[in-house]
Amino acid sequence: MAKINGGIIGALNPTSFGKCTVTSATGSTTLTTQPGTRIAQYLVVAGGGSGGNVAGGGGGAGGFRCGCLSVCGATPYSITVGAGGASQSSVNTPGNQGTSSIFSTITSAGGGSGAGYNNTTPTTGGTGGSGGGAAYPGTGGTGNTPPVSPPQGNTGGIASVASNGAGGGGAGAVGGNDSGCGPTASGGNGGAGTASSITGSPTFYSGGGGGGGNSTQGTGGNGGGGAGANGSAAIAGTANTGGGGGGTRGNTPTGAGGSGIVIVKELNKASGVWNLKSQFSAQKQGTWPLVGVDVDYLVVAGGGGGGRQNSGGGGAGGYRTSFPGGTKIFAGGSISITVGAGGAGGNSPTLGVSGTDSIFSTITSTGGGGGGANTGGGGANYIGRNGGSGGGGASDGTNIGAGGTGNSPPVSPSQGNPGGSGFASGVGPAGGGGGAGATGGTGTGPAAGSGGAGSANSITGSPVTYAGGGGGAINLGTVGSGGSGGGGAGGKNGGPFAVAGTANTGGGGGGAADGSPSILGANGGSGIIIVRAPGPSNISAAPGTNTVTTLPAPAGGCKVATFTVSGTLTVS
Could you read off the pLDDT of 378-435 as tens digits, one per residue?
888 999 999 999 999 999 878 999 999 999 999 999 999 999 999 988 888 999 999 9
- Has residue 556 got a pLDDT over 80? no
Average pLDDT over residues 226-243: 96
* Residue at 312 is within a domain: no
* Strand positions, DSSP E, 245-290: 261-270
- Has residue 487 got a pLDDT over 60? yes
Please give the pLDDT value at position 396: 86
Does this model's pTM top 0.85?
Answer: no
* Residue at 503 is within a domain: no
* Residue at 129 is within a domain: yes
Question: Maximum CA pair distance of the chain?
Answer: 89
Average pLDDT over residues 500-520: 86
Structural domain range at position 260: 1-286
- Confidence grade of residue 554 (pLDDT, cut at 50, 70, 90): low
Alpha-carbon span 418 to 399, nearest angstrom: 19
CB atoms near residue 482 (< 10 Å): 39
* Residue at 551 is within a domain: no
Alpha-carbon span 512 to 471, nearest angstrom: 9
Q: 152-166, 335-349, 488-502, 546-560 — which is least confidently predicted?
A: 546-560
- Interacting residues of 172 by C-beta distance below 8 A, sequence separation 6+: 154, 191, 192, 193, 194, 206, 221, 223
Please give the pLDDT value at position 278: 61
Please give the pLDDT value at position 6: 43
Q: What percent of the chain has pLDDT over 90?
A: 69
Alpha-carbon span 478 to 493, nearest angstrom: 11
- Confidence grade of residue 112 (pLDDT, cut at 50, 70, 90): very high
- Has residue 39 got a pLDDT over 60? yes
Alpha-carbon span 81 to 79, nearest angstrom: 7
Please give the pLDDT value at position 9: 40
Q: Report the candidate in 168, 175, 140, 145 with the shortest Cα–Cα distance to residue 237.
A: 168
Average pLDDT over residues 446-474: 95
Pairing of strands 455-457, 203-205: unpaired
- Has residue 173 got a pLDDT over 70? yes
* Residue at 152 is within a domain: yes
Q: 119-123, 156-160, 375-379 — which is least confidently predicted?
A: 119-123
Average pLDDT over residues 115-132: 87
- Has residue 503 got a pLDDT over 50? yes
- Has residue 536 got a pLDDT over 60? yes
Exposed, middle or buried by CB within 10 Å (0-12, 13-18, 19+), for 412?
Answer: exposed
Q: What tens digit of pLDDT does each residue of 254-306 get?
A: 999 999 999 999 887 655 555 666 666 666 665 555 567 889 999 999 999 99
- Has residue 161 got a pLDDT over 90? no
Q: What percent of the chain has pLDDT over 70?
A: 91
Q: Report the candidate in 139, 169, 134 with the shortest Cα–Cα distance to residue 151.
A: 169
- Interacting residues of 52 by C-beta distance below 8 A, sequence separation 6+: 88, 93, 94, 95, 113, 114, 115, 116, 117, 123, 125, 132, 133, 135, 165, 212, 247, 248, 254
Q: Which residue has the higher pLDDT, 220 or 273?
A: 220
Q: What tens digit of pLDDT does each residue of 508-517 get?
A: 999 998 755 5
Please give the pLDDT value at position 330: 85
Q: Are 507 and 489 in contact (CB under 8 A)?
A: no
Exposed, middle or buried by CB within 10 Å (0-12, 13-18, 19+), for 478?
Answer: middle
Q: Report the candidate in 477, 126, 102, 466 with the shortest Cα–Cα distance to residue 320.
A: 466
- Has residue 211 got a pLDDT over 90? yes
- Has residue 122 got a pLDDT over 80? no
Q: Count of domains in the chain? A: 1
Average pLDDT over residues 54-74: 92
Per the prediction, the chain carries an average pLDDT of 90
Q: What tens digit of pLDDT does each residue of 93-104 get?
A: 999 999 999 999
HEC string of 264-320?
EEEEEEECCECCHHHHHHHHHHCCCCCCEEEEEEEEECCCCCCCECCCCCCCCCCEE
* Residue at 497 is within a domain: no
Cα torsion through 551, 553, 555, 557, rounded to 10: 50
Count CA atoms within 13 Å of residue 321 on its CB side: 24
Residue 470 is classified by DSSP as: P
* Residue at 347 is within a domain: no
- Has residue 4 got a pLDDT over 60? no
Task: Identify the bridge partners of residue 204 per DSSP, sorted by sequence position.
Answer: 195
Please give the pLDDT value at position 8: 42
What sign has the CA pseudo-torsion 113, 114, 118, 123? positive
* Residue at 419 is within a domain: no
Cα torsion through 134, 137, 138, 140, rounded to 10: 30
